[in-house]
Amino acid sequence: EVQLLESGGGLVQPGGSLRLSCAASGFTFRSYVMSWVRQAPGKGLQWVSSISGSGISTFYADSVKGRFTISRDNSKNTLYLQMNSLRAEDTAVYYCAKRQVGEYYFDYWGQGTLVTVSS
């Protein structure tokens, strides 16, 4: 059974940093593109970042480029999102999501972790 479990969310002041983690199980982690998708309170879904199975290729939404860094440790089956220079508009539930091979949809999602940026 595929499981994705996010952690690391919390309250942080504007300008601060936070690192999110997503522990994966139930599939061959290194074979799949993984992504982060966020949802601000009461708002819709927004793609944030993706990383290839090897970790060599990374992609970012314009709104987080230069501030967020996606990475993965395939030996630990874990996905990360390092978030720096956080802004109030980064407040959201952050979901990690697995992308199906060769496709452009997310077949499994974690339960999400809430990041609140506020003074």
Partner 1 sequence: QSALTQPASVSGSPGQSITISCTGTSSDVGGYNYVSWYQQHPGKAPKLMIYDVSNRPSGVSDRFSGSKSDNTASLTISGLHAEDEADYYCSSYTSSSTPYVFGTGTKVTVL
Q: Where on the chain is the footprint of partner 1 (CB under 8 A)? A: 35, 37, 44-47, 50, 59, 61-62, 95, 100, 103-112
Between 17 and 104, name the residue whose CB sits nearer to partner 1: 104
Q: How far is the CB of 16 from partner 1 (least distance, A)?
A: 25
Q: Are strands 78-83 and 92-99 parallel, antiparallel or unpaired?
A: unpaired
Rounded Cα distance, 97 and 37, in Å: 7
- Determine the 3-state secondary structure of 30 from DSSP: helix
Q: How far is the CB of 44 from partner 1 (least distance, A)?
A: 4
Rounded Cα distance, 78 and 44, in Å: 26
Between 53 and 112, name the residue whose CB sits nearer to partner 1: 112
Q: How far is the CB of 60 from partner 1 (least distance, A)?
A: 8
Between 56 and 75, name the residue whose CB sits nearer to partner 1: 56
Please provide residue 100's backbone torsions phi and psi, each rounded to the nearest 5 degrees. -70, 145
- Determine the 3-state secondary structure of 29 from DSSP: helix
